[in-house]
Amino acid sequence: MSSELETISSTGNPLVKMLRSLERKKGRAETGLFLAEGARLVEQGLSAGWSLDSLIVSASSAERPFVRDLVARAAGAGARTVQVTDRLAGQIARKDNPQAVIGAFKQGAPSLDELAVPKSSLWIGLYEVRDPGNLGTILRTADCAGLAGVLLIEQCCDPYSVEAVRASMGSIFDIAFARCSFDEFQAWRTGAGLSVFAASVNGTVRHTEADMTGASVILMGNEQAGLPDPVEATCDTLCLIPMRGGADSLNLAQATAVMTYEAWRQRGFS
């Protein structure tokens, strides 16, 4: 194997300990790093210009041509490249059948003021969303629909958690997102001339009848509580997604997709 790879076999190695700590929010906060599992995901992050701190490959995959090329590319980008036993790779990923390639990337979300606001752009705002699987899925939906970005308002879960990154299927590298308070969001959206359309049980207009063709934010609330009354009061339109049957609500990620694709449909899927 290429001399670009160093070999680590001990669970007590400082790099291994650091990588294992990235499963926890405290570890991610202290290091400024997060894990991306799988060669395709790592390649996507590199192609999108994200900074790779270290690349881990399992012994059983090290000679695969694609992995060799990825190691060379990572080393060329200044990342530390390491080969570990399959068992150690599983301990880093906390999975019995881990991906053969694991990357530790530097976190890189911009601030709200750094986000470009294209004309007639469409955004998703998430208010105190707590489920990382929902967050990752929504990032993926926003990416698929070509949205301008996703805003994480108040106390949202960590987009860099292992669960959120997995659910995003690589979209974390391709869709812009930023954290902000609600007051910051209000000032930003007002200054940018963005209308807010919130999905709510208090909606007065069907989501298919709300005109979301202009510069807009689709605002979605917490999985259990939805949006607080004071937040709903600031919205331009409260939308109701029609439902029938025994269930009283859609999953947050599903409801966000319904709203997003209706807004995109209104724009001719352009």
Q: Is the pLDDT of residue 158 over 60?
A: yes
Q: Are strands 177-180 and 52-58 parallel, antiparallel or unpaired?
A: unpaired
Does the structural domain 112-266 have CATH classification 1.10.8.60?
no
Q: Is the pLDDT of residue 229 over 50?
A: yes
> Do the beta carbons of residue 66 and residue 99 sit within 8 Å?
no
1 pLDDT band, cuts 50/70/90, is very low
Tell me how far apart the alpha carbons of residues 221 and 10 are, in angstroms, rounded to a whole number. Answer: 44
Q: Are strands 216-220 and 205-206 parallel, antiparallel or unpaired?
A: unpaired
207 pLDDT band, cuts 50/70/90, is very high
> Do the beta carbons of residue 67 and residue 43 sit within 8 Å?
no
Tell me how far apart the alpha carbons of residues 63 and 220 are, in angstroms, rounded to a whole number. Answer: 46
Contacts of 44 (CB under 8 A, 6+ apart): 170, 173, 174
What's the distance, CA 139 to chain centroid?
5
Q: What is the pLDDT of residue 43?
A: 96
> Do the beta carbons of residue 194 and residue 217 sit within 8 Å?
yes
Instruction: Render pLDDT for 47-86 as a digit per residue (tens, 0 to 9).
Output: 999 999 999 999 999 999 999 999 999 999 999 999 999 8
Instruction: State the CATH class of domain 6-106.
Output: alpha beta
Contacts of 106 (CB under 8 A, 6+ apart): 32, 33, 50, 51, 52, 53
Tell me how far apart the alpha carbons of residues 84 and 148 are, in angstroms, rounded to a whole number. Answer: 39
Average pLDDT over residues 10-23: 94
Average pLDDT over residues 233-258: 92
Q: What is the pLDDT of residue 211?
A: 98
pTM of the model: 0.94
189 phi, psi to nearest 5 deg: -70, -35
Q: What is the pLDDT of residue 98?
A: 64
Average pLDDT over residues 205-213: 98
* Domain boundaries, given as residue ranges, for the chain: 6-106, 112-266
Instruction: Render pLDDT for 76-96 as a digit per residue (tens, 0 to 9).
Output: 999 999 999 988 988 888 776
Q: 229-245 burial by CB neighbour count: b if 16+ within 10 A, else e?
A: eebbeebebbbbbeeee
Tell me how far apart the alpha carbons of residues 217 and 221 are, in angstroms, rounded to a whole number. Answer: 13
Give the mean pLDDT of the chain: 94
